[in-house]
Homo-oligomer: A and B are copies of this chain.
Amino acid sequence: MTATSNHYQVSIEADPTLPIIRITRNFDATPAQLMRAHTDPELFARWVGPDGMETKILDWDASTGGRWRYIARRGDEEYGFHGCFHEVGKDRIVQTFTFDGQPDGVALETLHFEELGDGRTRLHAQSLVDSFEGRDQWLASGMETGVEQGYAKLDALVAELR
């Protein structure tokens, strides 16, 4: 961890006409470094989720057609998540996402790492579900805390990788 990494603001937006959440966030890292932090299970476990939550990877094959499963723990709380990787490309990940507490719910997530030059990258993340109610429940769940705190940890991690 260095003292020099910027902490950029995250934008979380609900699409007005589609059941989609869009997240945009800049990083002082290359697309390749961010891809590594999203696909290497040890690195991913170090930054994902809110502060104080410990992530344990149970299953992980970050390749096109692979699967993933992890649990997040904090004290007595435990939350499980799972899905499959539809596509793991050079600067793009498409995956499914289910919270085990709502086993019939599923989101289709697309991450794109846009190279901005000078070692910076803009992450565009899109999460698509099949109802506006489901989308708005996610937005009302306090998800932005986990997103913001997770990406601050990712800032620190990619500063190490540089």
Contact = CB atoms under 8 A, between A and B. Distances in A.
Contact of A86 (B17, B20, B83, B131): B83
Contacts of A130: 18, 20, 108, 110, 126, 128
Contact of A87 (B64, B87, B106, B132): B106
Interface in A44-76: 59, 64-69
A150 interface: no
A18 to B, nearest CB: 6
A98 B84 contact: no
B59 A86 contact: no
Contacts of A83: 65, 86
Contacts of A110: 106, 130
Interface of A: 17-20, 59, 64-69, 82-87, 94, 96, 98, 106, 108, 110, 126, 128, 130-132
